[in-house]
Structure 1
Amino acid sequence: MANSEGIVDLHREISEAVLKYEKSADPALLSHINDGFSRFAQLVTLFLVSERDTYYGYFFMAMTFRPNPNMDAIAGILLDAYPPIFEANPLRLFKLSLKEILYVFCHEVDHVVFNHPAEMVRSNPEKQPDLFKLFNYAADASVNDQLNYEAACGKKFLAPPKGIITSQFISARFNIAQVAPRQDYLYYFNLIKDVALPEEMGNSKEPGFEGEPLAGGFSVESGGDEGAEFEEGSFVGGSAEEAGGSVEPGFEEGLLIGNHSWESSTGEDEEITGTLDEMLESATKEFLNNVNELMGAEARGMMPAYFIERLEQINAPAKLNWKQLLKKYVGTISAEKIKTKTRLNRRQPLRFDLSGTRESKTLKIAIAIDTSASMDSEQLRQIFAEVFAIVAQRRCEITVIECDAEVRNVYRITSPDDANLEVSGRGGTCFSPVIRYINDRRYYRDALLIYFTDGYGEKSIPRPRTYRNLWVISGATVHLSVEQPYGLVLPLEDA
């Protein structure tokens, strides 16, 4: 129990130092508090790994700790560093009881495990402040409900701070009946994302020490005793509520002032923010895999099921999307070479009578539509809109080829409005007529062929003489009857 006693003593020491610092603002005392936080974090890590919860303990083994008395939030994990940094404001953190501090530590880990950093960026591409605030409510409700459940199931070393955001808070604050507990962030976010923030939520105010709410859904007003001790395997007298009991949120105190960012950059550089979700997701993947590598086989077998599921998800091969692939192809298609008298011949530069060459800078795309497929007008409209959005910055020539058992119609379009959307239900399907039509015309040698079909047709086709080929199937990709499609086969709808 040496670890337990050391944590209790150190927590009491730092809490008392914080109270003294508030009265004196002594820099030497602040330095002592910061040093104490670093020692406290090391003891928490050792305590969790050796005596209480190896799952969270391994996460803290895979990161470093840094005190920051100037941050508005109580704590947060910075993912744009290696190893990730657990940053906390000790002046706020040690206003909480010992059980509540451990709750804060575990709370921040769960945000990362559930991929909330990257999801926050994706959920709000226009960076609306109110939407970020709503995301934090949803993410905190998901994480805190799970932690409260774990505390009730036996993790008596955890206790929720007063005023945390939970599903009960979401229900009461947004006046939504029958909000289910222990759901993922998306469930809560979809419930509240289109609901106007109550007036008091929209008002920005500086967080303070006396019961005002802070980032992460925590209030610094603690309901516990500072002199918490261990008894029968758990902290005693150190929580606002017993960990296993029903926690009634303080609805007037649970406002979320500030947002999680999970990265230390300012976010003002457009080049950085444009890929911020990818950076955060990559950092999360690396972090979780590092934690997994620290574990032995026995420890790994004791991990929660949701951790194992997350590892499988982040390490699964990426699923291709036909729109993403089209963007990639557009960037790699070489422009056609045409002769010009304005340039010298590169092979014989002294022969002024010979023409040189230049790139036409025109992107050629052939869109083949299987008129017997089960695509309706709305799907076709979306397809053409997507294609034109992808090639918007390129000079391009788009040809539409309608075909069932034979080529029925060929025409050029310059905008989505030019496309014929009434093309369904004309009979059987053959893919070869489109391929032969393209192969017979040199114009398509450097073009991209995209074939939209339900997949049912011939088993073999001639090899298309185009630059690249892409099959987009309206159903399952296994339905494509062609045994050798000479190109990638992807579903029309994202999985």
Structure 2
Amino acid sequence: METFFEHQVKELYAKADNIINSFFMAKRKDGHSELYIPQEFKDEFFSLVDKVNLSLMEDKDNFYGYFLLQMSKDIRFDISSPTAVNFKGARYVIYFNPIIFLNLNIKQMESTIKHEILHILSRHLFRAKEFKDGYSTLAINLAMNIVVNTYLDHLPPYSVTLEWVNVNYSLNLLPFKPFEYYVEEIQTALDLLEADEDTADESKDEADNAQDATDHDQDEIIETEYNPEKTHDLWAESDDIDEKTLQEFTEKFIDNAQKGSLPNYLESMISSLKNSKGELPWNLYLKRLLGTVESNKKKTITRRNRRQPERLDLRGQLRSHKAKIVVALDISGSISDQEFKHALREVLEIVKNYNHEITIIECDNEIRRVYTVKSAKDIKDRINISGGTKFSPVFEYANQHKVNLLVYFTDGKGEEKLLTIPRGYKTLWVISGKGDKLSLKEAYGAVKKLKNIVMKDDSLNMSDVKRDGFSMQDQESMGI
């Protein structure tokens, strides 16, 4: 027998459908392009949302219900997911597309609300920006959705899960990995897929483009189906606010939502957020920089060939990067041999799947030694010479040798102005733990503090796979 809630959902869906049809008719008649949503419909719809929220608050995960109470709510027929969020007017706003949302049962409605709140707790609204230059929107969205959906039951049938991505992109992604791991692997698969699609029939593209032009205005107003590539488009409409301030608002929302005990995964996620200083660490930032440097594909035996996956004798390809890297060490500074060797091992770990070439430069007020490394065993003990500090000689070398990336380890004490301006490559300054800040007035690159962050092992201990008792090691990295 149909429940009252289910009956209310059906009635609301019919009214939402009438709103869309009325819009289409008005548009055909006079070119009107604004979708009018009656206030009566809004009141009825949010009355139903209140019932979903009441169900959340009665659940053991009532944190989500109390978090939702603090959020503003709005209706958007132009979003391609049941719900979406952004930050406007000093609070988080959750948006609903009635046509997609009302096709769900109440448990699925709860999950899609939880989904948006988990994006907030994972700091995805800001973390996605760190990757937009080197990775596609689809790869970023899929990676983030894998992370948050790992913790959810009763997902809508079209939800992006680890299993769905593995099947649809011929991958073998592991569970409980950080966002950065997923986005890199997915982008590799998308790059290979794009190469296949480049051979598609051009006449079909022309026909599709003509249809797209016809439907363009309509698609900007109405979305009736889930589209993973567009699910987070509303994030771009958030107020322009720095990450520190946004985190302060987020922590207030969290504190007001904690009315009892929390599941272990939520406790760990909230703890990571509160301990985060809102800054991508140097090693993850280096990985992002590598994503912006193109080169030839590198063959790998760890992934099957996309075009002929049944041919185990054919090697697949990893995403290509030109990793001609110079790693400079300020030997006059306070960075220890142990710190530098550990950091360089992290560099080697990060670039191991790229077509890379690493050159080490030891420098104080001049370049003292230059050598190449292919593995950790090639790292030499630092030479025992210590003069003053000048950064310019390293930049002269980098300019002359046309490098793609310069990573400079230093305590930060040196010149105030470079005599040689870097040309055509990225620069990452890594300040040692004893250093304070970079002396240069213009860094010409990112400046990060040296923090020893252990790279996650890709192996999985199956005893750690559990729904409600995750250790901190199981948690998706918050970029601390």
What TM-score, normalized by structure 2, do the two folds share?
0.51
Q: Does 1:143 align with 2:136?
A: no
| Same amino acid, percent of matched pairs | 14
Structure 1: unaligned runs, 5 residues or longer: 152-158, 208-213, 222-253, 324-365, 388-397, 421-443, 449-469, 478-489
Q: Does 1:291 align with 2:254?
A: yes
Correspondence for 1:14 among 5, 8, 12? 12
Deviation at 1:29, TM superposition (A): 7.0
Query: Equivalent residue of 1:196, what SS?
Result: helix
Query: Equivalent residue of 1:193, what SS?
Result: helix
Q: Partner of 1:39 in structure 2?
A: 47
Relative contact order: is structure 1 or structure 2 higher (C-alpha 8 Å, sep ≥ 6)? 2
Contact 2:79 2:231 in 1 (8 A): no
Query: Equivalent residue of 1:195, what SS?
Result: helix
- CA distance, structure 2, for counterparts of residue 400 and residue 175 of structure 1: 50
Deviation at 1:400, TM superposition (A): 5.6
Deviation at 1:101, TM superposition (A): 2.3
Contact 1:110 1:143 in 2 (8 A): yes
Contact 1:68 1:88 in 2 (8 A): yes
- CA distance, structure 1, for counterparts of residue 46 and residue 335 of structure 2: 67
Which of 1 and 2 has greater Rg? 1
Specify whether residues 410 and 145 from structure 1 end up closer, same or farther in structure 2 by C-alpha distance, changes over 3 A only. closer
Query: Equivalent residue of 1:85, what SS?
Result: strand
- CA distance, structure 2, for counterparts of residue 284 and residue 14 of structure 1: 36
Q: Partner of 1:306 in structure 2?
A: 265
Q: Partner of 2:332 in structure 1?
A: 368
Contact 1:67 1:88 in 2 (8 A): yes
Query: Equivalent residue of 2:432, what SS?
Result: strand
Aligned residues: 310
Q: Does 1:87 align with 2:65?
A: no
Alignment of 1:75-474 (within 5 A): 75-125=83-133, 131-147=136-152, 151=153, 159-176=154-171, 178-196=172-190, 198=193, 256-261=228-233, 263=235, 265=237, 278-279=242-243, 282-296=245-259, 299=260, 302-316=261-275, 318=277, 368-369=332-333, 373=337, 399=365, 409=387, 414-416=392-394, 472=432
Aligned-partner residue type, residue 286 of structure 1: F
Aligned-partner residue type, residue 316 of structure 1: N
Specify whether residues 255 and 173 from structure 1 end up closer, same or farther in structure 2 by C-alpha distance, changes over 3 A only. farther
Aligned-partner residue type, residue 472 of structure 1: S
Contact 1:368 1:400 in 2 (8 A): no
Query: Equivalent residue of 2:73, what SS?
Result: strand
Specify whether residues 48 and 471 from structure 1 end up closer, same or farther in structure 2 by C-alpha distance, changes over 3 A only. closer
- CA distance, structure 2, for counterparts of residue 183 and residue 266 of structure 1: 28
Q: Partner of 1:459 in structure 2?
A: none
Q: Partner of 1:482 in structure 2?
A: none
Query: Equivalent residue of 1:368, what SS?
Result: coil
Q: Deviations over 1:227-252 (max 9, x none)?
A: xxxxxxxxxxxxxxxxxxxxxxxxxx
- CA distance, structure 2, for counterparts of residue 492 and residue 29 of structure 1: 53
- CA distance, structure 1, for counterparts of residue 118 and residue 231 of structure 2: 16
Q: Deviations over 1:228-285 (max 9, x none)?
A: xxxxxxxxxxxxxxxxxxxxxxxxxx75241414535389xxxx5xxx7x43x64255
Query: Equivalent residue of 1:290, what SS?
Result: helix
Deviation at 1:167, TM superposition (A): 1.1
Correspondence for 1:66 among 74, 79, 83? 74
Query: Equivalent residue of 2:94, what SS?
Result: strand
Specify whether residues 401 and 22 from structure 1 end up closer, same or farther in structure 2 by C-alpha distance, changes over 3 A only. closer
- CA distance, structure 2, for counterparts of residue 51 and residue 413 of structure 1: 59
Deviation at 1:17, TM superposition (A): 1.6
Specify whether residues 186 and 201 from structure 1 end up closer, same or farther in structure 2 by C-alpha distance, changes over 3 A only. farther
Query: Equivalent residue of 2:74, what SS?
Result: strand
Contact 2:91 2:249 in 1 (8 A): no
Specify whether residues 97 and 192 from structure 1 end up closer, same or farther in structure 2 by C-alpha distance, changes over 3 A only. same
Contact 2:138 2:228 in 1 (8 A): yes
Specify whether residues 72 and 373 from structure 1 end up closer, same or farther in structure 2 by C-alpha distance, changes over 3 A only. closer
- CA distance, structure 1, for counterparts of residue 20 and residue 360 of structure 2: 62
Q: Deviations over 1:82-122 (max 9, x none)?
A: 22111112233223333332222122112222222222111
Contact 2:432 2:449 in 1 (8 A): yes
- CA distance, structure 2, for counterparts of residue 264 and residue 418 of structure 1: 39
Q: Partner of 1:438 in structure 2?
A: none
Contact 1:76 1:88 in 2 (8 A): yes
- CA distance, structure 1, for counterparts of residue 180 and residue 383 of structure 2: 45
Specify whether residues 28 and 173 from structure 1 end up closer, same or farther in structure 2 by C-alpha distance, changes over 3 A only. closer
Aligned-partner residue type, residue 260 of structure 1: H
Query: Equivalent residue of 2:118, what SS?
Result: helix
RMSD: 5.0
Aligned-partner residue type, residue 149 of structure 2: N
Query: Equivalent residue of 1:256, what SS?
Result: coil
Q: Partner of 1:343 in structure 2?
A: none
Contact 2:88 2:238 in 1 (8 A): no
Specify whether residues 43 and 320 from structure 1 end up closer, same or farther in structure 2 by C-alpha distance, changes over 3 A only. closer
- CA distance, structure 2, for counterparts of residue 413 and residue 48 of structure 1: 57
Deviation at 1:491, TM superposition (A): 7.1
What TM-score, normalized by structure 1, do the two folds share?
0.50
Deviation at 1:175, TM superposition (A): 0.9
- CA distance, structure 2, for counterparts of residue 7 and residue 134 of structure 1: 37
